[in-house]
């Protein structure tokens, strides 16, 4: 009997424990947890997203550059669709009937009761045309969206474009859902969190077939969308347009910076494209064409092209040599048509002796070969390797081999090899010597720089040794401005050494000297500049030029690359000085109109089609 009672009590205890567990679980699910409530609620509610307008974008002078235009997505709820004229609907929407049928099939597979997008980004004109005919198409309705629109056909690479989010971003950013738009490149990408705004939501009661029966709780849970913040850029849209015009039918780039602030006044990559070409449904057609184009119109040369700097790099060596005390401004080297050591010869077109200013004005290769060798073989250091490492420290302090911009994420770093690179590739089986590195003296060899780094270098020269990070956004409407853009970066060169460099750069444009770019001088404006020829193993050399103006209290620093332009004074220097004159004076003086005409007529891409512009409307 005792044994029976024990078994009975044990079974009863088990039932009680199981009952308690079930009660606790039911209490948790029905009272504490909201999971089932949410699931049940989703069955009777439809959440409609109220998409915010992206922030507007202005130039530095308040000119509106980017705004929003209404666009509409055609939605379909498959269960509610009845027989309709598919051909007529596709004609009204201007979409291929085959594509439309595919989207309808996708919507049916997704859900017969929930709406899906079947046609994206319908223009306001076609939307207006459809409104009076929507009664013919039950089960279809429109969802309002906005697309970017542009006041000017300029600055496409800087502004960037907006596209649909991919799955990777959806997985990593809870804010985004399938079908949302996001900045893909340029300012649109860099300032996405500022521009996108905040979504709003409206809730509607629906029946078992997902048909709307009215607002949920009289709209008390609805939220309004919040428009994105507006941006004021550093760009001068008029200067940007002029710079793009000068680069028409050429390949290359232009970057112009205000030295005192680091603000980018113009940034051009050519060939380019029109901003409107990658908006909405036009992007589907245009993007594959541009991506396949051998001239790379989507490629931002100003940030990503890595060229040898050529002779524009010579002032770097001069500054380092002055800082290290291995030359003075009066040190003289004789050029005998180049620099010759044994069987090695680095050619030059001079047959005379130069001091520092003359070597810059007339761009003597031999002078800088001797100077660079003195840097490497500095007796105060313990050998060529240490001399090279010291040289590289100075070069890096001038903004090379790093991303110098603040808000241009696409920028590449260029390449200034470290000593380990040469140890592995050049001196693995021999001692360090200056001669194998001597091509660096004239900005050739392994060194690579980007146009934005060269423009920043010109700004450093203008500022006598310091710079702010180049940036393209001046202010945000919510008042948030990152303090990093107001942080001064100083080179390792003492400011006292820059004045002698300025003299040589001023003489570059002096017809009385004569300098290598004397034909590009601007009457009435003191421009300090330097021509360069960047060697190109795949064709004609590139024409390069850096400059700033005026010499005192400089307002603009600039770097120009014209691919396959051969010499710096042929294309890059005239283009740079035209942009300088346009910015400082507002117009080109009559005595220099012929320079402007020559640059506008020059066609280095399509000589058989002198007025050809890709992707023009």
Contact criterion met (CB below 8 Å) for 235 and 60: yes
The pLDDT score that the predictor gives to residue 610 is: 44
Query: In terms of domains, do 363 and 481 share one?
Result: yes
Q: Is residue 545 part of a domain?
A: yes
Query: In terms of domains, do 378 and 522 share one?
Result: yes
The pLDDT score that the predictor gives to residue 613 is: 36
Q: What is the mean pLDDT of the chain?
A: 88
Mean pLDDT for the stretch of residues 97-111: 89
Question: Domain tally for the chain?
Answer: 2
* H or E segment to which residue 292 belongs: helix 281-292
3-class SS of residue 271: coil
In tens, the pLDDT along 455-499 reads 999 999 999 999 999 999 999 998 877 888 889 999 999 999 999
Last residue of one domain, picked from the residues 181, 207, 231: 231
The CA dihedral of 457, 301, 369, 465, to the nearest 10 degrees, is 10
Instruction: For the chain, give the percent of residues with pLDDT over 90.
Output: 58
**Between these two residues, 364 and 607, which has the higher pLDDT value?**
364
Q: Which of 25-34, 338-347, 363-372 has the highest mean pLDDT?
A: 363-372
Query: In terms of domains, do 199 and 242 share one?
Result: no
The pLDDT score that the predictor gives to residue 394 is: 97
Cis upstream peptide for 100 (omega within 30°): no
Contact criterion met (CB below 8 Å) for 463 and 411: no
The pLDDT score that the predictor gives to residue 210 is: 53
Query: In terms of domains, do 406 and 487 share one?
Result: yes
The pLDDT score that the predictor gives to residue 264 is: 98
Last residue of one domain, picked from the residues 179, 196, 231: 231
For residue 515, count other CB atoms closer than 10 A to its CB.
27
The pLDDT score that the predictor gives to residue 231 is: 96
In tens, the pLDDT along 169-184 reads 888 888 888 878 899 9
CA neighbor of 190 nearest in space, from 307, 72, 34, 300: 300
Q: Is residue 135 part of a domain?
A: no
CA neighbor of 587 nearest in space, from 237, 249, 238: 238
Give CA separation, 573 vs 159, 240, 459, 603, in Å.
27, 17, 17, 16
Q: Which two tokens stand for residue 244?
A: 């793009």
Q: Which of 18-32, 63-77, 203-217, 263-277 has the highest mean pLDDT?
A: 263-277
The pLDDT score that the predictor gives to residue 504 is: 95
CATH number, domain of 446, equals 3.40.710.10
In order, the DSSP letters of 70-97 are EEEEEEE-GGG-----HHHHHHHHT--H
Contact criterion met (CB below 8 Å) for 247 and 254: yes
3-class SS letters over 487-541: CCEECCCCHHHHHHHHHHHHHHCCCCCCCCCHHHCCCCCCCEEEEEEECCCCCCC
Matching residue, tokens 């060194």: 447
Position 128 confidence tier, pLDDT thresholds 50, 70, 90: confident
Last residue of one domain, picked from the residues 212, 231, 250: 231
Q: Which two tokens stand for residue 220?
A: 């008390």
Position 222 confidence tier, pLDDT thresholds 50, 70, 90: confident
The pLDDT score that the predictor gives to residue 209 is: 54
Q: Which two tokens stand for residue 72?
A: 């509409």
- Pairing outcome for strands 57-58 and 231-233: parallel
Whether 126 has a pLDDT exceeding 90, the answer reads no
Query: In terms of domains, do 265 and 180 share one?
Result: no
Residue 578 domain boundaries = 237-601
């Amino acid at each position: 009997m005792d044994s029976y009672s024990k078994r009975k009590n044990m079974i009863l205890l088990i039932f009680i424990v199981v009952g308690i567990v079930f009660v606790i679980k039911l209490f948790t699910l029905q009272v504490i947890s909201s999971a089932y409530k949410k699931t049940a609620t989703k069955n009777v509610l439809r959440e409609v997203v109220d998409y915010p307008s992206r922030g507007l974008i202005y130039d530095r002078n308040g000119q509106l550059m980017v705004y929003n235009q209404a666009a509409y997505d055609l939605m379909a709820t498959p269960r509610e669709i009845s027989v309709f004229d598919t051909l007529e609907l596709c004609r009204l929407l201007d979409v291929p009937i085959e594509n439309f049928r595919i989207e309808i099939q996708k919507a049916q597979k997704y859900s017969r009761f929930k709406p899906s997008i079947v046609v994206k980004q319908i223009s306001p004109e076609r939307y207006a045309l459809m409104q009076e005919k929507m009664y013919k198409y039950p089960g279809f309705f429109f969802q309002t969206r906005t697309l970017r629109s542009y006041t000017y056909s300029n600055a496409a690479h800087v502004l960037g474009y907006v596209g649909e989010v991919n799955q990777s971003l959806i997985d990593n950013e809870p804010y985004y859902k399938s079908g949302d738009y996001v900045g893909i490149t340029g300012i649109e990408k860099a300032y996405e969190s500022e521009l996108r705004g905040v979504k709003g939501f409206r809730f509607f009661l629906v029946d078992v077939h997902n048909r709307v029966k009215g607002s949920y709780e009289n709209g008390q849970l609805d939220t309004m969308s919040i428009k994105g913040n507006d941006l004021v850029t550093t760009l001068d849209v008029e200067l940007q347009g002029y710079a793009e015009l000068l680069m028409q039918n050429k390949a290359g780039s232009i970057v112009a910076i205000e030295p005192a602030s680091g603000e980018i006044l113009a940034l051009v990559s050519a060939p380019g494209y029109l901003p409107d070409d990658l908006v909405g449904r036009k992007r589907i057609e245009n993007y594959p064409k541009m991506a396949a184009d051998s001239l790379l119109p989507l490629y931002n040369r100003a940030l990503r092209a890595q060229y040898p700097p050529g002779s524009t790099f010579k002032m770097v060596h001069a500054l380092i040599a002055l800082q290290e005390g291995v030359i003075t401004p009066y040190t003289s080297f004789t050029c005998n048509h180049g620099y010759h050591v044994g069987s090695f010869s680095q050619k030059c077109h001079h047959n005379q002796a130069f001091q520092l200013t003359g070597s810059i004005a007339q761009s003597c290769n031999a002078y800088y070969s001797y100077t660079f060798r003195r840097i490497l073989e500095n007796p105060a250091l313990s050998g060529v390797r240490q001399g090279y490492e010291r040289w590289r420290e100075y070069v890096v302090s001038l903004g090379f081999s790093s991303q110098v911009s603040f808000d241009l994420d696409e920028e590449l770093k260029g390449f200034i090899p470290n000593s380990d690179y040469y140890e592995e590739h050049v001196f693995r089986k021999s001692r360090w010597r200056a001669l194998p590195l001597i091509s660096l003296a004239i900005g050739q060899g392994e060194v690579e720089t980007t146009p934005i780094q060269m423009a920043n270098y010109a700004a450093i020269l203008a500022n006598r040794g310091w710079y702010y990070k180049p940036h393209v956004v001046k202010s945000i409407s919510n008042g948030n401005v990152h303090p990093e853009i107001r942080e001064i970066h100083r080179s390792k060169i003492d400011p006292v050494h820059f004045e002698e460099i300025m003299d040589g750069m001023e003489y570059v444009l002096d017809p009385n000297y004569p300098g290598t770019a004397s034909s590009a001088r601007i009457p009435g404006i003191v421009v300090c500049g330097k021509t360069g020829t960047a060697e190109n193993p795949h064709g004609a050399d590139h024409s390069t030029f850096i400059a700033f103006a005026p010499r005192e209290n400089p307002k603009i620093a600039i770097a120009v690359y014209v691919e396959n332009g051969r010499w710096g004074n042929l294309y890059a220097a005239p283009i740079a000085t035209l942009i300088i004159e346009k910015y400082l004076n507002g117009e080109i003086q009559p005595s220099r109109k012929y320079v402007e005409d020559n640059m506008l007529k020059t066609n280095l891409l399509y000589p058989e089609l002198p007025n050809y512009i890709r992707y023009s409307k």
